[in-house]
Amino acid sequence: MRTLVMKFGGTSVGGPEAIRQVTDIVLEHTPHWDRLVVVVSAMSGVTDALTKGALTAAAGDDQTYRALVADLRALHYRAVDQLLRPDGERGALFAVVDEYLDTFETFCRSIHVLGEVTPRAMDAVTSLGERISARIVAAYLRQRGAKSEALDAIELVITDDTFQNAAPLMEETRERVQGRLVPLLDAGILPVVTGFIGATRDGITTTLGRGGSDYSAAILADCLDADELWIWTDVDGVMTADPRLVPEARVIPTLSYSEVGELAYYGAKVVHPKTIRPVIERDIPVWVKNTFNPQFPGTLITREAEPAAGTVKAVTAIKGMSMVTVEGRGMIGVPGIAARTFAAVASQGTSVLMISQSSSEQSISFVIPTNSVPKVVRAIEKEMALELARRDIDRVWSLDDVVIVTAVGAGMRRTTGVAARIFGALAKADVNVIAIAQGSSECSISLVVEGNAAARAVRQIHDEVILNARMSEAKAVPAAEGGAQ
Ligand code: ADP
Ligand code: ASP
Ligand code: MG
């Protein structure tokens, strides 16, 4: 029994031409697998628009969401109109689009009246994009002769109630997959499942966080014990850097789960950071492929990627960060300051992306998203009130507009001098490094740099440390040849 889960991202279902391409790919592969499950994102831009509608309504604006309803109707109608035949399901699908957009408008009207939007309401609103796209894709597959059915992941992916960032409850999800998805597959049906969304045990809609469709697909792959997971996107695979930032970026043929984990965690948007969690235990190979260049092999992600001679495989950046520092001479040798500091941060539900401590113990610095700074600083000041009054701690302050730049590659583990090469490259470009940390898995090194130096830092590491090392290898495949978008 060979099972494949394929996930198509927002651009891949972004318009009628793209959806046609998606169905070509699906229909080409269907005969080669016993079971095939398709997971789709909302059409590109839709989740952003839904979010904006809810936020502007909450802020007292009752015009923007109405305009967005019209835009979203035009976008979806165009797809339905161009894909579906009038003597087929076209009319029915127009009605589906209307129904979900009416729901959107009704939600926004209520949010406008209330003057606020709860995370729970936000999930109800943002889930609508995938519900529409899954139905359009399934209808078009039917028109092309497949026995396809759209399926809402609220029936499959059971989560906790952390709205907007829900965690799957794997036992329950596994049961649902067995009870609901497997019978469809056994009946020879090709399910098109909504990515991104789930539901609590009580059936309240949740979402897995922005970009979460990759994670949805991985959860289903795990529950089905799939042989492979293919993530179809709009670039040729995972690349040595974000191609929008570094046009010379190249596709990386193979990566390990931990390398991808680090890359995604530190900002490479191509795969959602949680995607590898479900697949890692079952060793499910993951391919990242380009919907618009399907013949190109893409990137293969497995447990052990071949050790790269180049040692650093990719560089990534994550913006919108601040570095918070707790400092004071009285901290030296006092046990428990670090533990209490991080307990205070955790009490605010904020996760720390990077930590560095000065060797003299006179300060602890850590990096968090800028929007969490005020509450985190307040929490630390409260926790350390006594130490601050006694001047054991002088101050708690934040440096805003910093970027974490991360170099990733499992080969770094065994190679000395990688850090030196990185710093050498940055010094040449006059980039000031504010702090440094090595990832716990030893397959990454992260640096904090000022916001305005970030692009320079990424390009410099890419040119000097990644491309140079690869020249001799001649293994890399230029993205342009692959026809990346
Ligand atoms: P999808 O809608 O298919 O999920 P995303 O927009 O979420 O697509 O992710 C794909 C995008 O990620 C690419 O278009 C690219 O701009 C960006 N990206 C950032 N870093 C990388 C990287 N290292 N390799 C490939 N793509 C990257
Ligand atoms: N549509 C969702 C988003 O834009 C999920 C996804 O695309 O993966 O965040
Ligand atoms: Mg994505």
The answer on 148 and 24 residing in a single domain is yes
If you average pLDDT over residues 194-200, what whole number do you get? 98
C-alpha 41 to ligand 2 mean position (Å): 6
- Is the distance from the beta carbon of residue 299 to the nearest atom of ligand 1 less than 6 Å? no
The answer on 146 and 9 residing in a single domain is yes
Tell me the per-residue pLDDT of 44-74, one tens digit each, with 9 for 90 and over.
999 999 999 999 999 999 999 999 999 999 9
Residue 262: inside a domain: no
The answer on 335 and 209 residing in a single domain is no
Residue 42: inside a domain: yes
Question: pTM score > 0.75 for this model?
Answer: yes
Domain count across the chain: 2
C-alpha 396 to ligand 3 mean position (Å): 36
The answer on 319 and 215 residing in a single domain is no
If you average pLDDT over residues 125-144, what whole number do you get? 98
Point out the domain boundary residue: 170, 205, 233.
233
At residue 204, φ and ψ (nearest 5 deg) are -85, 130
Point out the domain boundary residue: 185, 212, 233.
233
Residue 481 — pLDDT band, cuts 50, 70, 90? very low
The answer on 179 and 77 residing in a single domain is yes
- Is the distance from the beta carbon of residue 234 to the nearest atom of ligand 1 less than 6 Å? yes
Which ligand gives the minimal distance to the CA of 195?
A: 2
Instruction: Please report the pLDDT score of residue 482 as a whole number.
Output: 40
Q: How far is CA 246 from CA 114, 314, 455, 456, in A?
A: 44, 11, 9, 10
Instruction: Please report the pLDDT score of residue 143 as a whole number.
Output: 98
Q: In this model, does residue 485 exceed pLDDT 50? A: no
C-alpha 123 to ligand 2 mean position (Å): 12
| Range with the poorest average pLDDT among 95-109, 247-261, 430-444 | 430-444
The answer on 176 and 325 residing in a single domain is no
Point out the domain boundary residue: 233, 250, 267.
233
| Range with the poorest average pLDDT among 37-46, 83-92, 172-181, 308-317 | 308-317
The answer on 208 and 112 residing in a single domain is yes
- Is the distance from the beta carbon of residue 239 to the nearest atom of ligand 1 less than 6 Å? yes
Q: How far is CA 97 from CA 12, 43, 153, 369, in A?
A: 19, 12, 18, 36
Which stretch of DSSP H or E encloses residue 182?
helix 182-186
Residue 337: inside a domain: yes
The answer on 228 and 327 residing in a single domain is no
Q: Which residues surround ligand 3, an ion (CB under 5 A)?
A: 9, 211
Residue 132: inside a domain: yes
CATH number, domain containing residue 402? 3.30.2130.10
Report the alpha-carbon distance of residue 11 to residue 291 in Å, rounded. 9
Closest to 101 measured CA to CA, from 65, 136, 137, 139: 65
β partners of residue 207 = 197
Instruction: Please report the pLDDT score of residue 362 as a whole number.
Output: 87
Q: How far is CA 116 from CA 69, 124, 209, 423, in A?
A: 19, 14, 20, 47
Residue 108: inside a domain: yes
User: Whose Cα sits closest to atom 2 in ligand 2?
Assistant: 211
> Sign of the C-alpha dihedral, residues 279, 280, 282, 284?
positive
Provide the H-helix boundaries in 7-127. 16-29, 46-58, 64-83, 90-114, 119-126
- Is the distance from the beta carbon of residue 270 to the nearest atom of ligand 1 less than 6 Å? yes
Residue 350: inside a domain: yes
- Please state, rounded to an integer, the average pLDDT across all residues of the chain: 93
Residue 323: inside a domain: yes
Residue 355: Cβ-neighbour burial (10 angstroms; 0-12, 13-18, 19+): middle
Residue 285: inside a domain: no
Contact (CB, 8 A) for 8 and 44: no
CATH number, domain containing residue 211? 3.40.1160.10
- Is the distance from the beta carbon of residue 262 to the nearest atom of ligand 1 less than 6 Å? no
First-last CA distance in the chain? 35
For residue 432, give the 3-state DSSP assignment: coil
- Is the distance from the beta carbon of residue 66 to the nearest atom of ligand 2 less than 6 Å? no
Residue 472 — pLDDT band, cuts 50, 70, 90? very low
The answer on 90 and 197 residing in a single domain is yes
Its domain, for residue 349, covers: 314-472
Q: In the chain, what percentage of residues exceed pLDDT 90?
A: 85
Written as one letter, the residue type at 99 is E
The answer on 331 and 213 residing in a single domain is no
The answer on 184 and 37 residing in a single domain is yes
- Is the distance from the beta carbon of residue 195 to the nearest atom of ligand 2 less than 6 Å? yes
The answer on 358 and 466 residing in a single domain is yes
